Amino acid sequence: MPMIPNLKFHDGREMPQFGLGIWQVPADTTAEVVKDALDLGYRMIDGAAAYRNEEGLGTGIRQSGLDRDELFVTTKVWNHGKGYDETRQSVAESLSRTTLDRFDLILLHWPFQDTESYVAAWKGLIDAQAEGQVTSIGVSNFHEAHLDRLIQETGVIPVLNQIEVNPKLQQSEMRKVNAAREIVTQSWSPLGSGRSFDEEIVQQIAERVGKSAPQVILRWHIQLNNAVISRSENKQHLAANMDIFDFELSKSEMDAMSQLQTGERTGPDPETFDGK
């Protein structure tokens, strides 16, 4: 079983650097996927209210038989147009659906800047944390201006910002913004829908280390010091995705990987996404 390193938060807590994401996992198979991942040694599971499979997340955790303290569980508040009260209700509903006593991390899912409600939602998470419903709080898909507004108006800095990162969208500037505020960057869509699998440098590294293209790319994320979540419904693929801690990319290979940047997204742009 691979030894997955932890990343430290500025609030003194820490999380596994690598874990399972359950976006687009069907509700009726989520429990099985979560249990398979936990059986393989995954200890961080990333969910969200908007994924509509939190019940399966909770069931998979219960079926694993693991102690709650061994796990790191994330969910997200879909905060489009929601203020303080709605955010508190969303947290309570996620706890009820999963039957967990607390989350380790809750994120605001998008800034939805057209609604101007994310600061009120953030205040809701601050109070949820104070009351023990969640241990750490962060955001997802926030840009610099969004982060700074939260910090200026509440004095509370998110511990993590989950953003789209993959070889075609490397987000070097946003990663610097996060690092300057001691915010962990977590990568979603880390494989970029496979768009970089056939790139020459990826294939060369894969041949050198005897790994697959997805494993090479996931290892690249680890060496960027990002937290990273991967997704699969296949147990063999889950095992392969986690098998990335027995090799390294050289500095020259990391430099070559940086040349794959095109700025192409697989998901929405936080500056324009309206939640639809």
Three-state secondary-structure class, residue 275: coil
118 catalytically annotated:
no
- Using alpha carbons only, what angle is made at residue 77 by residues 107 and 52, rounded to the nearest 5 degrees? 120
Q: Tell me if 205 sits within 8 A of 194, measured CB to CB.
A: no
The residue among 256, 274, 244 whose CA lies nearest residue 19 is 244
Q: In whole angstroms, what is the distance from residue 8 CA to residue 16 CA?
A: 9
Q: In whole angstroms, what is the distance from residue 76 CA to residue 138 CA?
A: 9
Contacts (Cβ under 8 Å, ≥6 apart) of 179: 185
Burial of 252 per CB tally in 10 Å (0-12, 13-18, 19+): exposed
Q: What is the CA radius of gyration of the chain?
A: 18
Q: In whole angstroms, what is the distance from residue 203 CA to residue 186 CA?
A: 25
Q: Which amino acid, 264? A: E
DSSP state of 72: E
Among residues 42, 51, 84, 118, which one is catalytic?
A: 51
Q: In whole angstroms, what is the distance from residue 43 CA to residue 38 CA?
A: 6
Backbone angles phi, psi at 194, to 5 degrees: 75, 10
Structure tokens at 67: 């102690």
The residues annotated with a catalytic role in the active site are 51
